Chain A
């Protein structure tokens, strides 16, 4: 092999790895706060990507309607949960966040979709739409199950994944789509060519890692989220609204997912079901990071990306086998280093 190919593979791996890192971070975040292993993370990616691509192509994405429908559902759940103590302010707040907001976004989407909007508007709209889907999804599917075991949450997560994937086919069809580059142009450094897109990917990933780090280290909400992650009951007793923590976690996860999607879709053609596999590679990174450590997850994700790039070059048939089997030695190491005493859980 020559150096150019190797450098090229490393670069490719880092670009993909950066995306896996973002997804891994989101998975860690959601798991830590809500104990949900977020399998639908991949759908956030495809929804973000395909909404962006559809808008850019001047088509109306179905996701905007889904956001409104889920919002109405969330509103119904809010009403039902508060049926014993309904008061005006509560209803008003619920109507505003769950119905008026997605309603406005839907109207904007309809308006802009008709006239091939500029890239910036496409990005903002797709981010907002997917963010709302994530938020309402938590309210409708996971908040009522917040007290149950990790296993039940996991199965529910699978259910959501299936439903969202089916809806994805409905909204975007079986055809793959590509979107316009977020940042066009490119420059070369030595043998390597850097596109604006790949620079965007690096920039956004770094910005997010630093942002999350600051958010959790310095802000009160970040600390509340961490407290919820460590001890749900304790956090509630300290006056933290654990449902709010869950909502924030899902909001962040869906934004991260959508953003990753928007960054990939100019590079690779995405299909309605591509998200699952992309999300799973984020998983691999998250597991290597132990589902708790952000920096370790980021490093692991880069590693996964590079391994993938090299194995697709040398043994493209076995690319997926290699990436997923990568976990076995990691798990082995982790299990050897596992702490001896484990308190019981229910």
Chain B
């Protein structure tokens, strides 16, 4: 994302197009329409492709933008430039309202929910008196600068494409930032993101608003291009079409939205003007062909056209290595030896009739490696989830440095300096190792979305990336820093998770089966790393099945079986404990 050159070239080409001699005016109209659709599609890229939130309702936000300026500039005579911020604010604040209701929905409820309110709003547009009902509002004043009125499609062309290119830049800046990483992590479920302090409902709402504001901008431009609005272009069909544009172009890519808009707008135009010549006399043939082509396209390239095109370009190798001399603020650690860091007292978790964790008590001291072992289903991962706030305990208490957690959410627990890895790796496969690890430092950065869009976050960002790079080097994956996380072996992905957890600057590190999938040498490296961390003042609580690994590493071992603690002690005493042997090997009848 660093290279600005292609964008500059693109901007120059777009700026030059109207000056090409003999350019048919109709093509400019098409380009105007492409730009308008691209703005909406770009928002959808962020919302659907990147954030994983499918919305059919974007057309309604275009409608909000268009109607706001239509009403204000006709009935109240406001200047279009004054209505621009108002249009954006109206779309944005309605997005907050609708978003608060909708973004919490998961899976397929969300698209259906957006479809429903998209339709509802469409009918509202066509029934409200002050919006002109089905006839809409006409005689909207054109945009003007001084005495120059943008009356022709050719004159508003620049306004549209400046908006498109600026929005693309801002959107790409946003994605390439602290907030952007949080957004990109949304699609992979929220457990991992929340474990590092990302407030996922807020992040979802943010992309929702961003998409709505872009749609509102498109609506504002539309109103001043057409100089009239009516409900038709803001209905469910249009909402579906915008989503279609994003998917055709490549839903994960900002420029995919622009490309998709170009493909769909041109295709529709071609179908509308040439099909009747081929098949005269028939009604909606272009809709039929359009629908069929859509299905065919998805069968041939389900990922969209943009990534398919990009795969022909030579692969860009590596990014710049961050300047690791930059330092983030460190957590102030309580001095002193052997204080109790984590205290679990009679923690209990019931799922219906199943008692997954049954009144388990244990503690972790400062500078100590404690292993939690037990057969499958013993309740180890559930205990982890209780400590990290993913699950709330049925009863009992868990405290950190004497402070009770009281079922605080994961975002709060990580602030106390407890970070974790997951039994089933939860990385974002299409982000680089560096970006994945930087999510761990989320709470240690401060730049918000606006600062990120305007690139005011670079100093903050450089420090975050430096910290991430430092932790990647520490775990020994410096060579893989710029590879996509999904391309690493499972064992390496587990190590990436450890680096990400280290980015929190934790006091206590919770590792869920860190050695699974590692080779012998890698396990030894991991053990060495964990001892170093302990010696550096960190405590480690780990779940592990590899007994050789555990016995050599842990200072103390807690054994669970069927949710109950059956033993606790040093490796030597655990090895000979008859209860433990019975749990693992069964007992001779």
* Contact, CB under 8 Å: B189 / A162: no
Q: Which of B232-287 contact A (CB under 8 A)?
A: 236, 240, 243-244, 247, 251, 282-287
* Contact, CB under 8 Å: A287 / B292: no
* Contact, CB under 8 Å: A163 / B298: no
Q: Which of A125-172 contact B (CB under 8 A)?
A: 141, 144-145, 148-152, 154-156, 158-167, 169-170
* Contact, CB under 8 Å: B54 / A151: yes
Q: How far is the CA of A154 from the CA of B105 in the complex (A)?
A: 17
Kindly report which residue of chain A lies nearest to residue B241, judged by CB atoms: A158
Q: How far is the CA of A331 from the CA of B109 in the complex (A)?
A: 8
* Contact, CB under 8 Å: A151 / B251: yes
Residues on B with C-beta less than 8 A from A283 are 112, 115-116
> Does B172 reach chain A (CB closer than 8 Å)?
no
Q: How far is the CA of A202 from the CA of B27 in the complex (A)?
A: 56
Q: Mark A317-328, 1 if CB is under 8 A from B, else 0.
A: 110110111011
Residues on A with C-beta less than 8 A from B286 are 166
Q: How far is the CA of A161 from the CA of B243 in the complex (A)?
A: 15
* Contact, CB under 8 Å: A321 / B188: no
Q: Nearest chain A CB to B208's CB is how many angstroms away?
A: 14
> Does B321 reach chain A (CB closer than 8 Å)?
no
* Contact, CB under 8 Å: B244 / A165: no
From B86-94, B119-127, B154-162, B446-454, the one touching the partner chain is: B119-127
Q: Nearest chain A CB to B412's CB is how many angstroms away?
A: 15
Known contacts A162-B290, A166-B290, A280-B116; 14 further A-B pairs (Cβ under 8 A): A156-B299, A159-B294, A160-B291, A163-B290, A165-B291, A166-B284, A166-B288, A167-B288, A287-B116, A324-B123, A340-B391, A342-B189, A343-B189, A345-B189
Residues on A with C-beta less than 8 A from B298 are 145, 148, 152, 155-156, 159
Residues on B with C-beta less than 8 A from A338 are 104-106
Residues on B with C-beta less than 8 A from A342 are 106, 189-191
Residues on B with C-beta less than 8 A from A340 are 391-392
> Does B302 reach chain A (CB closer than 8 Å)?
yes
* Contact, CB under 8 Å: B287 / A166: yes
* Contact, CB under 8 Å: B287 / A162: yes
Kindly report which residue of chain A lies nearest to residue B293, judged by CB atoms: A159
Can you give 22 A-B contacts (C-beta < 8 A)? A141-B295, A145-B302, A148-B302, A151-B251, A156-B299, A163-B290, A163-B291, A163-B292, A165-B284, A165-B291, A166-B285, A280-B119, A283-B112, A283-B115, A287-B113, A291-B109, A321-B120, A324-B120, A331-B102, A335-B109, A341-B191, A344-B188
Residues on B with C-beta less than 8 A from A158 are 240, 243-244, 291, 294
Contact A154 to B106, CB < 8 A, known contacts A170-B284, A280-B115: no
> Does B493 reach chain A (CB closer than 8 Å)?
no
Residues on B with C-beta less than 8 A from A152 are 247, 298, 302
Contact A335 to B54, CB < 8 A, known contacts A287-B113, A320-B119, A324-B119: no
5 shortest interchain CB distances as A-B pairs: A163-B291, A344-B189, A159-B294, A162-B291, A166-B287
Contact A169 to B283, CB < 8 A, known contacts A158-B244, A344-B188: yes
Residues on A with C-beta less than 8 A from B123 are 318, 320-321, 324
* Chain B count of residues within 8 A CB distance of the other chain: 54
Residues on A with C-beta less than 8 A from B549 are none
> Does A284 reach chain B (CB closer than 8 Å)?
yes
* Contact, CB under 8 Å: B291 / A159: yes
Q: Mark B191-229, 1 if CB is under 8 A from A, else 0.
A: 110000000000000000000000000000000000000
> Does B476 reach chain A (CB closer than 8 Å)?
no
> Does A214 reach chain B (CB closer than 8 Å)?
no
> Does A1 reach chain B (CB closer than 8 Å)?
no
* Selected contact of B287 from candidates A150, A163, A324, A344, CB within 8 Å: A163
Interface residues of chain B, those whose CB is within 8 Å of chain A, are 48, 54, 101-102, 104-109, 111-113, 115-117, 119-120, 123-124, 127, 188-192, 236, 240, 243-244, 247, 251, 282-295, 298-299, 302, 385, 390-392, 426
Q: How far is the CA of A345 from the CA of B192 in the complex (A)?
A: 12
Q: How far is the CA of A340 from the CA of B290 in the complex (A)?
A: 41
Kindly report which residue of chain B lies nearest to residue A276, judged by CB atoms: B236
* Contact, CB under 8 Å: B189 / A291: no
Residues on A with C-beta less than 8 A from B292 are 159, 163
* Selected contact of B101 from candidates A156, A165, A328, A343, CB within 8 Å: A328
* Selected contact of A154 from candidates B54, B127, B385, CB within 8 Å: B54
* Contact, CB under 8 Å: A335 / B104: yes
Q: Which of A298-346 contact B (CB under 8 A)?
A: 317-318, 320-321, 323-325, 327-328, 331-332, 334-335, 338, 340-346
Q: How far is the CA of A20 from the CA of B287 in the complex (A)?
A: 27
Residues on A with C-beta less than 8 A from B188 are 344, 346
Q: How far is the CA of A345 from the CA of B385 in the complex (A)?
A: 19
Residues on A with C-beta less than 8 A from B390 are 341
Q: How far is the CA of A318 from the CA of B390 in the complex (A)?
A: 43
**Which of B127, B289, B294, B392 has the most CB atoms of chain A within a 10 A radius of its CB?**
B294
Q: How far is the CA of A346 from the CA of B429 in the complex (A)?
A: 10
* Contact, CB under 8 Å: A325 / B247: no
* Contact, CB under 8 Å: B116 / A284: yes
* Contact, CB under 8 Å: B127 / A162: no
Q: How far is the CA of A31 from the CA of B251 in the complex (A)?
A: 22
Q: Nearest chain B CB to A81's CB is how many angstroms away?
A: 12
* Selected contact of B294 from candidates A37, A151, A162, CB within 8 Å: A162
Contact A328 to B117, CB < 8 A, known contacts A151-B251, A160-B295, A344-B188: yes
Residues on A with C-beta less than 8 A from B289 are 163
Kindly report which residue of chain B lies nearest to residue A153, judged by CB atoms: B298
Q: Nearest chain B CB to A55's CB is how many angstroms away?
A: 22
Residues on B with C-beta less than 8 A from A169 are 283-284
Q: How far is the CA of A164 from the CA of B120 in the complex (A)?
A: 24
**Which of A148, A321, A342 has the most CB atoms of chain B within a 10 A radius of its CB?**
A321
